[in-house]
Chain A
């Protein structure tokens, strides 16, 4: 048996890298940065399940958070999710790479300390990163299922990682064809069961999208805005080759602009090409499929960056239901990043096989350190760009005040914009936390204003009520009657935010509560009740949750029954 340090090297290295990134985020408080929003206590509301409101972009992520953040403080949940994501990503990549310990450690570095993870972490896409972390484990489980015929673990992981639509698709695309494809020992009945169960685990978002009265097609402007962007001297291709190229400048590390980062990416790609054939010889089905997905995803990411304004590309996004999932092209390099992580260490081993042992070890360590040298500013929460902050007491007071009111009705969030910038949150730009903070459904402006090459562009939202409010504000009409008709009884004005150039007409809506930075107004009289319900969707969601737990138990029990793994 190898010594303890060797046995735990992969775990230790993954924990160390995770700590280097996340340590400042472990301070008391919440990380509120772009799309990353956690609140102390989140109440389960219809929109968390994709009922009412816009398209189910964060389903079932927000429903699960609502079930946990309350009994468990939201900040504890956030820290646990972030740590688990990074550690699992590193260990998973290392285990999928296999081979000598140093190869595993290098794979962990390449996957955990990647431009992809950095960009998505800074964007606040923790649900997608969770799928990123589960991905190598799902591929490993699929490899095992292929050889043993036991597909429960693969199915379970496909469900566990499906917190957001893209995450569910990534895992299903990567794992199921490997586990169930030609040559698999999985029986025909089990194949059907696995496909059916994975479809059920993903039903919370796709069924919600199908049953939503909102059009399932997305604003094609999104492709222009969200397409991959060059973040360094290598242009769009050089950026996505490294797993970078995320669309938002606020989610890009400065080190991505260096020639060294580009050279490091090219070196890793060359090593991956050298190592690819050995990997394919050893694990043909999974490597071939991962390569198909990797190159396909890379191609789409590049295309989204260079052809995002082409009519044919826009028609894919706006003409096909679900095409919106392709808008943010860079996220589909996820397979490519994993492919590089597992093949590059093998490539280095091939290149250095003639060298003496000490040089081989040194170069393997160098490969493990290369991602850190290329992206040094991912350290310490992206060199301090991710920090914690505490919600002011007034936010809890507002939640309590609205929860105690007996009068039914939803809430409107003003100023009429999606993103906020609070002095108490280090002035970071963050998605309005109000919809998650309150115990009532909040109508907010889901249009996304962005500046592209100096020009203001707006990606359209999809909540019909928000659209009607936008029109009312643009027309200068008094909001009171419009809101009453939309089922909105309350208006929360965040007074510490920049005032709108076209202030909404709030005449006849008196202030009933005030706190620092917050103002609550109540619309007099009765409002038209809006209680979106969908019993079928709720039943399917519950079935999916129950099935996921059952499959998890089955995976655990049948794993213990395997020869060689049984309890003794």
Chain B
């Protein structure tokens, strides 16, 4: 595998990584703080 096929594979993989990272960054700002079904510690009075 080489030449154009290799270049296409490299471009696709690179794009997937970049788009995936972008989604992760956006989610880190919007998924606050995380999936809601998880427990969290209650600080202060119990």
A interface residue numbers (CB < 8 A to B): 34, 225, 229-232, 247-250, 252-261, 263-264, 352, 354-356, 358-359, 362-363, 366, 369-370, 372-377, 383, 415-417, 419-421, 429, 445, 447-453, 456-458, 497-502
In the assembled complex, the CB of B34 is this many whole angstroms from the nearest CB of chain A, namely: 4
A37 to B6, CA, bound (A): 50
- Assembled-state Cα–Cα distance A356/B9 (Å): 12
How many A-B Cβ pairs are below 8 Å? 158
Tell me the B21-46 residues at the A interface (CB within 8 Å).
21, 23-25, 27-46
Instruction: Give the docked Cα–Cα distance between A248 and B38 (Å).
Output: 6
Q: Tell me if A254 and B39 are in contact (CB < 8 A).
A: no
Q: Is the CB of B6 within 8 A of A355?
A: yes
Q: What's the nearest-Cβ distance from chain B to residue A131, in Å?
A: 23
**Number of contact residues on B: which range applies?**
35 or more
Question: Which B residues are closer than 8 A to A by beta carbons?
Answer: 1-2, 6, 9-10, 13-14, 16-21, 23-25, 27-46
A229-B35, A257-B31 provided; 14 other pairs, C-beta below 8 A?
Answer: A247-B38, A253-B28, A254-B28, A254-B31, A258-B23, A358-B2, A363-B9, A376-B24, A416-B45, A417-B46, A419-B44, A421-B43, A449-B46, A452-B39
Which B residues touch A449, using CB under 8 A? Answer: 41-42, 46
- Interface contact A252-B24, CB-CB below 8 Å: no
Q: Could you tell me the distance in whole angstroms from the C-beta of A567 to the nearest C-beta in chain B?
A: 46
A residues near B16, Cβ cutoff 8 Å = 260
Asked if A250 and B20 sit within 8 Å, CB to CB, the answer is: no
Residues from chain A with a CB closer than 8 A to the CB of B34 are 231, 249-250, 252-254, 256-257
Residues of B within 8 A of A253 (CB): 28, 34
- Chain B hits for A501, CB < 8 A: 45
Q: A230-B35, A355-B1, A366-B14 are in contact. Are A374 and B24 (CB under 8 A)?
A: yes
Q: Are A456 and B24 in contact (CB under 8 A)?
A: no
Whole-angstrom distance between the Cβ of B41 and the nearest chain A Cβ: 5
Chain A residues with Cβ under 8 A from B19's Cβ?
Answer: 260
Report B-chain residues with C-beta under 8 Å of the C-beta of A264.
Answer: 20
